[in-house]
Amino acid sequence: MKILVKLGELFDASRLIPIELAHVSGVSYKTLGEAPTDFLESLASTGEKVNVEATLNPQSFDKHLKERLPENLVKAQLKLCEIFDKLGFKPSFTCTPYYIKTPRKGAHLAWAESSAVVYANSVLGAWTNREGGPSALAAAIIGKTPNCGIHKAANRKPKILIEVEAPLKSEADYGALGIFLGKILEDKIPLIKGLKNPLAEDLKQLGAALASAGMVNMFHYKNNAVEARELEKITVEPKNIKETIAELTTASTSKPDLIFIGCPHCSIREIHRIANMIGTRKVKDNVEFWICTSRFVKKKAKAFVQKIEASGAKVLTDTCTVVTWTDRLGIKKIMTNSAKTAHYAPTLNKAETILAPLKECLKTALKG
């Protein structure tokens, strides 16, 4: 309660409001470390429990990686998972909790995963600030959050018009658009015009990249001519997308150690598409090919998962390349269709990156 009240005071909230769902980040031991683990253990020892349905971000490994990582790191992560279990969290371990349970339009949430925050506000019409791990944890236990920021209608209005003149041909292009805008928008909510019938998965990539490179918690993308006339305008040209992709591609050669799809975690439709695109082909020798998703989606798409894994690719759950120790697995070069991963991997994974559309990633990973 002290955490929530102090946050409310900082952001001029008049009261706390009930939330329907909470989602906590800072679940991977790689990004969390020992001191926060001690804090969480102390909290769980009091018998405290969450008061709303609460989910968790990815941890640092799944069954495919567990045997390949140092025992001390595995034990530390398992300890964290046990603590969250004691606190009453669902062991979702995904950055896409909206695939497990879609929040209703207008629902107030306390979500700490930045990509999920942007998706919830922009695509689903839910209302959530970008919480920190501790504030989302506090909100999950109390069942409330300060009535400030994006929880207020006046703060959800667009502040700037983005005219997209660049053709966006793939999910990688949408991600590049997000990185480009994230760097120049600061915290201004954009109205983005010129998106040509984007899939929900395209908007997911756009929002994830937008949140990675900047502080924007939502965007508008449906036509609003009245508001658009009153806004400052920025035009996105083809060269802006091309240059952003080039900046996110830090590798000097096109021979990656890992091809990675699923940041944010794959939807059922993405798993279906990947399986169909793979067909009967096999993964090349000496190449790792990971597709990350949630346990929920993997179970729902079981037949397609089996088809993918028959190729030699690994469908991982509970984790993500960004929050595991890829450097300890000898991975120095990562190819991905995720602008978010390409943005973070050079620092968090100590890896060179190649940003490319799904089709090109599959071509690189597979024989034939």
Q: What is the mean pLDDT of the chain?
A: 96
Q: Is it the case that residue 332 has pLDDT exceeding 80?
A: yes
Residues 119 and 211: their CA atoms lie apart, in Å, by 10
Q: What is the pLDDT of residue 3?
A: 94
Taking phi first (over 0 means left), then psi (-120 to 50 degrees means alpha), and beta for anything else, what does residue 223 get? beta
Q: What is the pLDDT of residue 4?
A: 97
Question: What average pLDDT does this structure show over 174-189?
Answer: 97
Residues 155 and 12: their CA atoms lie apart, in Å, by 13
For 1-28, write each residue's pLDDT tens digit: 999 999 999 999 999 999 999 999 999 9
Q: Is it the case that residue 226 has pLDDT exceeding 60?
A: no
Position 368 confidence tier, pLDDT thresholds 50, 70, 90:
confident
For 277-299, write each residue's pLDDT tens digit: 999 999 999 899 999 999 999 99
For 87-134, write each residue's pLDDT tens digit: 999 999 999 999 999 999 999 999 999 999 999 999 999 999 999 999
Q: What is the pLDDT of residue 116?
A: 98
Q: Count H helices, E strands: the chain?
A: 16, 13
| Type of residue found at 287 | V
Position 230 confidence tier, pLDDT thresholds 50, 70, 90:
confident
Percent of the chain with pLDDT over 70: 98
Position 224 confidence tier, pLDDT thresholds 50, 70, 90:
low
Please name the residues in contact with 318: beta carbons below 8 A apart, sequence gap of 6 or more: 58, 59, 61, 62, 93, 94, 295
Question: What average pLDDT does this structure show over 195-209?
Answer: 97
Question: What average pLDDT does this structure show over 357-367?
Answer: 97
Q: Which domains does the chain have, with CATH numbers?
A: 2-153 (3.30.499.10), 157-247 (no CATH), 249-365 (3.30.499.10)
Place of tokens 């660049």: 166
